[in-house]
């Protein structure tokens, strides 16, 4: 099953840019091909210690995570969302985000959101419902 996620951050109802310093500091140690990494990269191929991998692409206001494999790479992905203060749009249509984002969401988005104190793997698995079998 091909799986992709999108991360979004909001400020006053508008999309906001991800903090690239946070992205690079978290993903660079997990680069699957460090020789191809440059300081300006917005595309990351990451590999966890157990060998599981994912592609992470940073666009102007969105982070896309493509084909995360079963394994510890999920811990890296979830930590990235939490450290950025970003919400995760899950393929089932649920938007998982921290409680402190509630006031910043665009009008009407709150109805499809699940609010948690922090983004954790456990919170993601609960919100993902039937998609969670892809994680472990």
Both tokens assigned to 3? 């799986």
For the entire predicted model, the pTM comes to 0.87
CB 26 within 8 A of CB 79: yes
In the prediction, which pLDDT does 40 show?
Answer: 63
Neighbours of 93 (CB within 10 A): 7
In the prediction, which pLDDT does 91 show?
Answer: 86
Average pLDDT, the chain: 89
Both tokens assigned to 132? 């969670």
Q: What is the pLDDT of residues 85-133, one digit of tens each?
A: 999 999 888 999 999 999 999 999 999 999 999 999 999 999 988 655 4
Instruction: Return all residues near 130 (Cβ < 8 A) that are at least 6 apart.
Output: 92
* Pairing assessment for the beta strands 113-116 and 95-98 based on DSSP bridges: parallel
Place of tokens 């595309």: 43
Position 34 pLDDT exceeds 60: yes
CATH of 4-130, one of 3.30.1360, 3.30.750, 3.40.50, 3.30.310: 3.30.310
Alpha-carbon distance values, 41 to 34, 63, 131 (Å): 11, 13, 30
In the prediction, which pLDDT does 136 show?
Answer: 46
In the prediction, which pLDDT does 92 show?
Answer: 86
Position 59 pLDDT exceeds 50: yes
Domain ranges of the chain: 4-130
Position 69 pLDDT exceeds 80: yes
As a whole number of angstroms, the distance between CA 23 and CA 25 comes to: 6
H or E element in which residue 41 lies: none
């Amino acid at each position: 099953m091909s799986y992709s996620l999108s991360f979004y951050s909001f400020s006053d109802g508008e999309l906001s840019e991800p903090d690239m310093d946070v992205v690079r500091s978290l993903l660079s140690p997990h680069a699957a091909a460090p020789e191809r990494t440059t300081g300006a990269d917005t595309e990351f191929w990451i590999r966890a210690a157990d060998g599981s991998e994912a592609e992470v692409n940073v666009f102007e206001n969105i982070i896309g995570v493509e084909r995360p494999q079963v394994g510890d790479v999920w811990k890296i992905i979830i930590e990235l969302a939490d450290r950025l203060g970003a919400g995760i749009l899950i393929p089932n249509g649920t938007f998982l985000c921290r409680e402190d984002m509630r006031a910043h969401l665009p009008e009407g988005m709150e109805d499809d959101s699940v609010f948690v104190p922090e983004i954790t793997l456990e919170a993601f698995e609960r919100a993902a419902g039937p998609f969670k079998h892809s994680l472990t």
